[in-house]
């Protein structure tokens, strides 16, 4: 059953397409934005590919961590609004309101809810949608000289992809306004200092730091990691009593996993556990 799930979900959703390299590397699903000539701006086809790949990973028990990065010097300069607005045909009123929930907003929701850890790697610019992907990931590592920017008001429109929700909760209303109303740009080091991302490292050391984190997550207790991610997400809108009820539910499920039994045996035998993600 597992292999059939993977073949149905994987052969379609894990296929690369123009501008997006998709590769299942053991337990690591690697998604690389691959349009460096446009600073990896995400067009509609790339967006659909990202959504499909992350949604498939939700059902694929072989996936233990998702890694998102960008080809070339930059991570992502946002949505490719130039490509979307090319041509003479103007969409009818309401097209954005109808389309966005199935594209950028769907991607943000998936990244925050998929029950495997998501790691985002940022070099160069992470603007707009690129910034939001970095916020939605569970662990984001950036080069110290990376640049984070919300360009919306400078382009004359309002934020999307969960920017207002995530920034307010991550750094508070004052700093969220500095980013969204005043267009404040942050280096990777500043983004880490503000608590927007996990850590910033010298560019030459970034690959090694990423490999360490990815290896740790890919070799971790996948069920417990996924449920912990879910608990953290739900806690943002829950009372203490609700959160503790959800924690009891998570504990019930995780304690039935093979990895729990392995972790307990390793503790008794005073050795390192060998988790299999089951």
CATH number at residue 246: 1.10.12
117: closest CA among 165, 68, 161, 75?
68
Residues 109, 228 share a domain: no
Report the CATH number at residue 23.
3.90.226.10
Residues 255, 195 share a domain: no
Residues 66, 44 share a domain: yes
At 218, list the tokens: 């890919």
Residues 180, 106 share a domain: yes
Residue 246 lies inside a defined structural domain of this protein: yes
Tell me what pLDDT residue 5 has: 44
Separation CA 219–CA 213 (nearest Å): 10
Alpha helices of the chain — where are they, by DSSP H? 2-13, 44-59, 81-84, 95-99, 104-113, 129-136, 152-155, 163-180, 188-194, 206-218, 222-235, 240-254, 258-269
Classify residue 66 as left (phi > 0), alpha (psi -120 to 50) or beta. Answer: beta
What pLDDT, in 10s, does the model give residues 116-155? 999 999 999 999 999 999 999 999 999 999 999 999 888 8
Report residues of the chain scoring pLDDT below 70: 1-12, 81-102
Separation CA 250–CA 259 (nearest Å): 14
Residues 174, 147 share a domain: yes
Separation CA 65–CA 257 (nearest Å): 18
Residues 233, 123 share a domain: no
Residue 273 DSSP label: -
Tell me what pLDDT residue 4 has: 41
Supply the Cα-derived Rg of the chain in whole angstroms: 19
Residues 199, 82 share a domain: yes
Domain ranges, residue 161: 2-218
Residues 226, 208 share a domain: no
Residues 234, 214 share a domain: no
39: closest CA among 104, 130, 103?
130
Residues 212, 233 share a domain: no
Tell me what pLDDT residue 3 has: 43
**Phi/psi at 24 (5° precision):** -95, 110
Tell me what pLDDT residue 258 has: 87
> How many structural domains is the chain composed of?
2
| DSSP calls for 54-97 | HHHHHH-TT--EEEEEESTT-SB--B-HHHHT-SSPPPPTTHHH
Burial of 131 (0-12, 13-18, 19+ CB in 10 A): buried
Separation CA 49–CA 53 (nearest Å): 6
Contact between residue 110 and residue 55 where contact means Cβ atoms under 8 Å apart: yes
Residue 276 lies inside a defined structural domain of this protein: no
Tell me what pLDDT residue 107 has: 94
Out of 176, 192, 218, pick the residue that ends a domain: 218
């Amino acid at each position: 059953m597992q292999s059939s799930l993977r073949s149905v979900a994987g052969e379609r959703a894990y296929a690369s397409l123009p501008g997006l390299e998709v590769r299942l590397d053991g337990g690591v699903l690697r998604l690389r934005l691959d349009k460096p000539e446009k600073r990896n701006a995400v067009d509609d086809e790339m967006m659909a590919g990202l959504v499909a790949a992350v949604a498939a990973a939700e059902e694929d028990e072989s996936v233990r961590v998702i890694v998102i990065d960008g080809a070339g010097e930059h991570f992502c300069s946002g949505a490719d609004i130039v490509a979307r607005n090319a041509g003479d045909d103007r969409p009818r009123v309401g097209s954005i309101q109808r389309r966005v929930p199935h594209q950028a907003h769907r991607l943000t929701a998936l990244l925050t809810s998929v029950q495997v850890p998501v790691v985002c790697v940022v070099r160069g610019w992470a603007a707009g949608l690129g910034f939001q992907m970095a916020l939605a990931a569970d662990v984001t590592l950036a080069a110290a000289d990376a640049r984070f920017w919300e360009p919306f008001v400078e382009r004359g429109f309002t934020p999307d992809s969960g920017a207002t929700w995530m920034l307010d909760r991550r750094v508070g209303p004052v700093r969220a306004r500095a980013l969204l109303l005043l267009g404040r740009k942050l280096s990777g080091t500043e983004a880490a200092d503000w608590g927007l991302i996990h850590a910033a490292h010298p560019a030459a050391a970034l690959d090694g730091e990423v490999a360490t984190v990815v290896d740790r997550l890919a070799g971790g207790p996948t069920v417990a990691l996924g449920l912990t991610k879910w608990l953290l997400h739900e806690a943002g809108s829950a009372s203490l009593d609700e959160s503790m009820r959800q924690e009891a539910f998570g504990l019930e499920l995780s304690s039935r996993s093979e990895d729990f039994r392995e972790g307990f045996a390793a503790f008794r035998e005073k050795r390192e556990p060998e988790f299999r993600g089951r």
